[in-house]
Amino acid sequence: MKTTPLKCSTIMLIEDNAIDNFINERIIRNCFFSKTVLVHTNASSALEYFKNIKKMENISPVLIPDYIFLDINMPLMDGWGFLQGFEKLNLPFDCKIIVLTASVNPADEEKTKTYKNVVGFFSKPLSSTVLDLL
């Protein structure tokens, strides 16, 4: 039996909606995009994750997401707060960030271009078409 190679080692979802997380994780796995999917239901816990990783000496590659799928509109800390905090961390590794949002505001897409790690802006829901573009 032939196995399909995965495109990525690890993906992180930062999304406050549990149903969206469930669907996104299923799409990622069914499209053989990544085996490891880290899920954070709020931006501040995801930022804390990266602060803790930065303190580690020998970081396992599986802990570093190749892509972060980030929702913009979340309570407490939104996606913008995450992006600002993420850039300030100056991590010793790169993560590509995909903004995956329900926002239809063109200004949001323009604003994402000011963040160096953001490589894409897509409307929810995640689809195999989006994954094929990465």
The rounded distance, in Å, linking the Cα atoms of 119 and 44 is 21
Q: What is the pLDDT of residue 1?
A: 47
> What confidence tens digit (pLDDT) does each residue in 1-31 have?
445 678 889 999 999 999 999 999 999 999 9
pTM here is 0.92
∠ CA(59), CA(44), CA(7), 5° rounding? 50
User: Cβ distance 91 to 50 under 8 Å?
Assistant: yes
> What confidence tens digit (pLDDT) does each residue in 44-77 have?
999 999 999 999 888 888 899 999 999 999 998 9
Structural domains of the chain sorted by starting position, each given as residue range(s) with its CATH number in brackets: 8-127 (3.40.50.2300)
Residues in the chain: 134
> What confidence tens digit (pLDDT) does each residue in 84-122 have?
999 999 998 889 999 999 888 889 999 999 999 999 999
User: Cβ distance 27 to 126 under 8 Å?
Assistant: yes
